[in-house]
């Protein structure tokens, strides 16, 4: 019995030493995907409103799973497109939502997708663009993006 207890104690000590030396067996791999949930809102008076919603670090790849956007323009104006522009333009269906409590026309786009962006040798912005029928008045573009940052 004493021999078994000594054996178990020795085995337990060896496991603790191994875990301590290895930094723990539950360490996260440096190549594990990093969840990304980003959002940004911009204001512009141009007809093409660009929103840099996320910056991809050099050498990383962004896997986009979901994008949503809300554009606000003065009443009577319209939004003709909302797109993400890397690596190629992906256009989203734009829906008219009526007017908000301040009298602005509201347009939305939301889509689940699977697009990979990168890697690039230098950091790059992921830009969502809203195009509207006029310029010179204030437009607001709010964007959210969900995905994963991975090391290729």
pLDDT band at 85 (very low <50, low <70, confident <90, very high): confident
What does the buried/exposed string (b/e) look like for 62-74 if buried means 16 or more CB atoms within 10 Å of the residue's CB?
Answer: bebeebbbbbbbe
How many domains are there within the chain? 1
- Measured distance CA(16)–CA(9) in Å, rounded: 11
CATH of the domain at 83: 2.60.120.20
Neighbours of 44 (CB within 10 A): 17
Per the rule left: phi > 0, alpha: psi between -120 and 50, beta: everything else, 6 is: alpha
Task: Confirm whether 22 is domain-assigned.
Answer: no
Tell the residue number behind the tokens 């269906």, with chain if given: 93
Domain membership of residue 15 (yes or no) is no
Question: Is residue 19 assigned to a domain?
Answer: no
The stretch 61-82 carries a mean pLDDT of 97
Q: What letter would DSSP give residue 140? A: E
| Confidence (pLDDT) at 99 | 96
85: left (phi over 0), alpha (psi -120 to 50) or beta: alpha
The span from the CA of 63 to the CA of 25, in Å, is 28
Residues in the chain: 152
10 is a domain residue: no
pLDDT value of position 28: 58
CA dihedral 53, 55, 60, 66 (to 10 degrees): 0
- Residue 59 within any structural domain of the chain: yes
* Residue-range definition of the domain harbouring residue 47: 30-150
pLDDT of residue 5: 46
Q: Write out pLDDT tens, residues 97-150.
A: 999 999 999 999 999 999 999 999 999 999 999 999 999 999 999 999 999 999
Q: What pLDDT shows up at residue 26? A: 52
């Amino acid at each position: 019995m004493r021999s078994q207890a000594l054996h178990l104690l020795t085995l337990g000590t060896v496991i603790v030493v191994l875990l301590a030396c290895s930094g723990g067996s539950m360490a996260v791999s440096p190549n594990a995907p990093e969840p990304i949930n980003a959002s940004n809102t911009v204001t512009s008076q141009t007809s093409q409103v660009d929103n840099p919603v996320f910056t991809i670090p050099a050498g990383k790849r962004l896997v986009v799973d979901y994008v949503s956007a809300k554009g606000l323009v003065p009443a009577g104006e319209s939004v003709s497109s909302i797109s993400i522009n890397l690596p190629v333009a992906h256009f989203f269906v734009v829906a008219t939502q009526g007017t908000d409590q301040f009298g602005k026309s509201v347009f939305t786009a939301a889509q689940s997708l699977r697009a990979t962006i990168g890697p690039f040798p230098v950091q790059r912005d992921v830009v969502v663009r809203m195009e509207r029928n006029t310029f010179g008045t204030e437009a607001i573009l709010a964007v959210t993006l969900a995905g994963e940052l991975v090391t290729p």
